[in-house]
Every structure is written in structure tokens, then in C-alpha cells.
Amino acid sequence: MPTRWKPLDAADGGDWLNPIYTNATLVTRFAPETAKSADGLLTGVPTSSSTQPSLTARMLEALDVQPGDRVLDGGTGTGYQTALIAHRLESDDQLVTADIDPDVTSEALLNLEAIGITPNVLTVDVRDWTWPPESFDKVIITCALPRITETLRSTVAPGGRLVANLFPPLSGGLAVLDRMPDGNLEGRFQTGGGSFMAARTAAPPPPPPPASGPVDAHGESRVPVTAFDSYHFTFLLASALPGVVLQYGTDDEGHTMRRLVMPDGAWAEGIFVGEQTQFRETGEHGIWDTVEGWWGWFVDHDMPKWDRFGLTVSDEEHRLWYETPRGPLVETSCVSEARN
């Protein structure tokens, strides 16, 4: 059963603004080709939202905007966060806000102008637009990124900071990264995390392929079903298996199942019967080996939370580290290409 949303506007009377004053994420736009209306309710694939206010506040506190900063706000949405940032700056000219959707930026521009705020509003893909090098002191991205692109890394000025949610769709890790003297971005993940819709591209991406292919491996596993309920464990899986999707369900006999599907359709699944776990998988990714390796590491290190991990982003790689950036890589760490 798809989620159904109730649209609210001024015609609903005095109560229509009440949700804005709650600590909740509010869907503000659907993909037009998926939006349907029935019985006064909407269904569809959300493409834009107003971020949970407490998460917005936490991210802006981490960003630490100063009056003289030059700021890039990636993911304009309604313009709400843009307005909060503008309030901290000496001039609106110091602020650029960007979104890939022209309908979003047009509406946000009207919202901002209505309250006397006039930043630079651009309709571009903030990840790959040709920004001048070292052009922003602070960069905040409010859509989930699979990685920090080289364009984004190089746009942060010396001593500057970037705040972004990473490793969608499985993870809610929220990274606070500072520009180091060597040009790398480096920092820790926040304790509380924070999840966003995945960044979109100019052309809608094709739907992910269904799980497919013959079973290439199977056997017993020590990974319990509760492992997949841990945001901190799935964060590690997301870093090591880029783009992986977690599916919940049951097998043909009604046993609990957790399936991981890669962007190319390769999959691995665990079947949980009482205290026993059986796995099977297809493809050459070694998906379940990754699950086993990370679970062993995770348990051996007392199930560490997000803030025990950090990330170093250079022009060549993303380096996930545990406790200290100068220490060794975690045993099953993912090192991913960061080039455009």
C-alpha cells in the first residue's frame, strides 16, 4: 500500500500552517509522472521536502556560519534553510543557493523575495557545476550524496567546511568535513546522523534492475537478523557497497528475509530461521562476505556509533577511518574513487 499524503493550502483554513511548526519532515513536491490524486489524498515519489527543523538546526550549528562567510547552500527546496543562512550573513551576495529542479528554484526565489532576501539562486547540479576553486567558506548539502565530488571538494576554501549526508540510500551518516592545509576534506560523522532524499540528476535515472541471476554461493552465516536494524551497521555496509538497497520480506516458506541488491541487480540475502541464518547470493561482488566481515568487525569493536568514524576526501579517494585519521584503515574499509 503506497504512502498517501494530504495536501494542505490556505483553503484548509487556519490549521493549514500547523504542520510547519512541528518537528517533522514535510513532503513539498512529487515527481510529476508519479503523482496521483484520489479521495483528496496524494500518492507518488517525493522529490523535494522541507527538512525536519531539528535536523536543519543541527546541521547549521555544525556549519558554523560567520557573518563574513561565502556560503553555498545545495538543495534549495522551499528556501527555508536559505533564509536562515542569509540571516547570519552581512550581505545576500555572499550566499548562493542551488537546486537541480527549475520549478523548485522558481518557487523558492518568490518565497525569498517576498521576505526581502535576494541570494544568488541557480538551477544547476550542485555536485558538478563548474564553481571557481576555493570559492566558498561554507558548503551545506541537503540531499544525500553517494560521494563528495571533486568539484565540491575543490570549491571549499582553505579553512572552510562542508556538511553533507553520505552513502544513500542505505545510510544516514552526516559528515562534517574541514578543508585541510593539504587540500583534503577531513572530519567526523555526527552522533545523530541525518537522512535525506538522494540527489537527483538532470535526467531521471532508470529504475534499478530487479534482483536477478542464478545462485552462485550459499551457506551458513553468523549474522543475525537484528544486524540490519542497526543504523550504525548499515552505515558500514553502505560505505562498502555503494548504491546497495536493503529489502525486507519473507521467503517462499514464510521465513524472515533480508536482501541486499546492488545497482547492477546482483543480490545476496539472509534467511533467518530461529537462531540459524542461511545465506545465498549471486554475482561477483562478494556481498555476503562483506556483510560477514563488517559484522565481525562491528561486534569486535563494541558496535561503534557514527561519531567514532570519520572520512578523508582527496582528489583520488574517500578514506573511511575509525577513531583517528592517522591510524590504519578499518579492516574491511571501502576506498572509493572520488573523481568526477
Could you report the per-residue pLDDT of 88-134, keeping only the tens digit for each?
Answer: 999 999 999 999 999 999 999 999 999 999 999 999 999 999 999 99
Which letter does DSSP use for residue 132 in this model?
Answer: P
Within a 10 A sphere around the Cβ of 161, how many other Cβ atoms? Answer: 22
CATH number at residue 233: 3.30.160
Is residue 336 scored above 50 in pLDDT? Answer: no
Q: Of the given ranges (120-124, 179-183, 261-265), which has the lowest mean pLDDT?
A: 261-265
For residue 139, the model assigns a pLDDT of: 98
Whether residues 63 and 150 share a domain: the answer is yes
Whether residues 41 and 60 share a domain: the answer is no
Helix (H, G, I), strand (E, B) or coil at 154: helix
Residues of the domain holding 229: 217-300
On whether residue 198 sits in a domain, the answer given is no
For residue 331, the model assigns a pLDDT of: 42
On whether residue 293 sits in a domain, the answer given is yes
On whether residue 4 sits in a domain, the answer given is no
Considering only CA atoms, which of 198, 189, 162 is closest in space to residue 49?
198
Is residue 335 scored above 50 in pLDDT? Answer: no
Is residue 202 scored above 60 in pLDDT? Answer: no
For residue 320, the model assigns a pLDDT of: 92
Between 220 and 326, the higher pLDDT residue: 220
Whether residues 183 and 63 share a domain: the answer is yes
Whether residues 147 and 30 share a domain: the answer is no
C-alpha cell at 47: 522529490
Show which of 189, 204, 230 is a domain's final residue.
Answer: 189
For residue 333, the model assigns a pLDDT of: 39
On whether residue 142 sits in a domain, the answer given is yes
Q: How far is CA 316 from CA 180, 230, 288, 328, 334, in A?
A: 15, 30, 27, 18, 13
On whether residue 268 sits in a domain, the answer given is yes
For residue 5, the model assigns a pLDDT of: 74
pLDDT digits (tens, 9 = 90+) for 322-331: 999 886 555 4
- Whether the link from the prior residue into 169 is cis, omega within 30° of 0, is yes
Is residue 70 scored above 50 in pLDDT? Answer: yes
259: amino acid identity, one letter: R
C-alpha cell at 137: 567558506
Question: What's the domain count of the chain?
Answer: 4
Burial bucket for residue 123 (CB in 10 Å: 0-12, 13-18, 19+): middle
Containing 321, the helix (H) or strand (E) segment is: strand 317-322
On whether residue 42 sits in a domain, the answer given is yes
Whether residues 177 and 64 share a domain: the answer is yes
pTM: 0.85
Is residue 338 scored above 80 in pLDDT? Answer: no
CATH number at residue 165: 3.40.50.150
Whether residues 100 and 221 share a domain: the answer is no
Whether residues 296 and 310 share a domain: the answer is no
For residue 337, the model assigns a pLDDT of: 38
For the chain, what is the mean pLDDT?
87
For residue 41, the model assigns a pLDDT of: 74
Q: Of the given ranges (12-26, 51-65, 177-191), which has the lowest mean pLDDT?
A: 12-26
On whether residue 120 sits in a domain, the answer given is yes
Whether residues 42 and 88 share a domain: the answer is no
Whether residues 94 and 118 share a domain: the answer is yes
Nearest 5°: the CA angle 46, 48, 53 is 115
For residue 328, the model assigns a pLDDT of: 55
Mean pLDDT score, 308-325: 92
Cα first-last separation, the chain: 38
Between 206 and 150, the higher pLDDT residue: 150
Q: Can you spell out the DSSP letters for 82-116?
A: HHHHHHHSS-GGGEEEEES-HHHHHHHHHHHHHTT
Q: Which residue is it, cell 561565502?
A: 70
Mean pLDDT score, 10-34: 75
For residue 210, the model assigns a pLDDT of: 64
Whether residues 314 and 296 share a domain: the answer is no
Q: Are 328 and 312 in contact (CB under 8 A)?
A: no
Mean pLDDT score, 45-72: 87
Cα Rg of the chain (Å, integer)? 21
Mean pLDDT score, 190-199: 80
Whether residues 94 and 23 share a domain: the answer is no
**Per residue in 14-26, is it b (16+ CB within 10 Å) or e — as a string?**
eeeeeeeeeeebb
CA distance 152 to 146: 13
Between 207 and 273, the higher pLDDT residue: 273
Q: Of the given ranges (8-17, 181-190, 278-287), which has the lowest mean pLDDT?
A: 8-17
Q: Do the strands 267-273 and 256-261 form a parallel or antiparallel pair, or are they unpaired?
A: antiparallel
Whether residues 42 and 74 share a domain: the answer is no
On whether residue 204 sits in a domain, the answer given is no
Sign of the alpha-carbon dihedral angle for 76, 80, 81, 84: positive
Helix, strand, coil distribution of the chain in percent, nearest 5: 25, 30, 45
Is residue 85 scored above 90 in pLDDT? Answer: yes
Q: Of the given ranges (27-31, 74-78, 168-172, 249-253), which has the lowest mean pLDDT?
A: 27-31
